[in-house]
């Protein structure tokens, strides 16, 4: 079934966000962050399925994180060549510093000072050693949105990025603080669309789970 995104009127901006497809880090339940891994075969299938759901949906701009998994997802979903996709460093994933690449079960042993905020089944590390706080990530998401609207106000934009970054971007769009923004988990290849008025205020939002099987690999 094809996806119907909110229709933008004169001067309105549509910001659609897409989390990347499955990687080995997601599959193996390891901390990802800035580690630059590509999609695994299942992740590519997810992106292709998402592309079929979005077939015929036109975007004026496609913006991606500089990490391979986001760029590859954007290519497979939209059919746009890599050179046409706008890469924005501000859209990269949260840095987890020294925790990147490890099993979360190792964290209490190697980094016993790390504290977690538990929301549902997901544990969010609050102070990863050498990493980025949620307050700083939220501020970065705010700067990203300001730049996006400065470049593409009034357009239909797709942003391909990552779980923690997109949670904070959604929080900025919804007017939530960095910690309430964590209440909405995001599946691989999940689409969220936000229709903004000419002043950048949120009018309508819409969520689509483009790949139901993504729920087989929940956040942790």
Active site residues: 20, 93
Nearest to 90 by CA among 155, 55, 42, 141: 141
53: left (phi over 0), alpha (psi -120 to 50) or beta: alpha
Alpha helix segments (H runs only) across the chain: 24-27, 41-53, 68-78, 107-110, 134-152, 163-174
State how far the Cα of 156 lies from the Cα of 73, in Å rounded to an integer: 18
Strand pairing category for 156-161 and 190-196: unpaired
Location of structure tokens 């990530």: 137
- 215 CB-contact burial (10 Å; exposed 0-12 / middle 13-18 / buried 19+): exposed
Are 219 and 163 within 8 A, CB to CB? Answer: yes
Are 8 and 14 within 8 A, CB to CB? Answer: yes
Alpha helix segments (H runs only) across 115-203: 134-152, 163-174
Element (H, E) at 195: strand 190-196
Terminal-to-terminal C-alpha distance of the chain: 29
């Amino acid at each position: 079934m094809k996806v119907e995104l909110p229709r933008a009127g004169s001067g309105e901006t549509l910001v659609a966000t897409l989390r990347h497809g499955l990687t080995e880090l997601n599959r193996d339940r390891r901390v990802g962050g800035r580690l630059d891994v590509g999609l695994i075969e299942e992740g590519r299938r997810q992106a292709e399925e998402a592309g079929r759901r979005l077939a015929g949906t036109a975007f004026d701009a496609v913006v991606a994180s500089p990490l391979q998994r986001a760029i590859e997802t954007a290519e497979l979903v939209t059919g746009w060549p890599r050179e046409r996709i706008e890469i924005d460093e501000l859209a990269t994933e949260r840095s987890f510093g020294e925790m990147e690449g490890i099993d979360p079960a190792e964290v209490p042993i190697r980094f016993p000072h790390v504290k977690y905020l538990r929301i549902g089944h997901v544990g969010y590390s609050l102070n990863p050693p050498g990493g980025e706080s949620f307050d700083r990530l939220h501020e970065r998401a705010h700067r990203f949105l300001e730049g996006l609207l400065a470049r593409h106000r009034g357009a239909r934009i797709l942003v391909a990025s990552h779980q923690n970054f997109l949670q904070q971007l959604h929080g900025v769009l919804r007017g939530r603080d960095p910690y309430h923004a964590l209440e909405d988990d995001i599946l691989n290849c999940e689409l969220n669309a936000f229709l903004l008025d000419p002043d950048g205020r949120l009018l309508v939002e819409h969520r689509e789970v483009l790949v139901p099987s993504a729920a087989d690999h929940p956040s942790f």
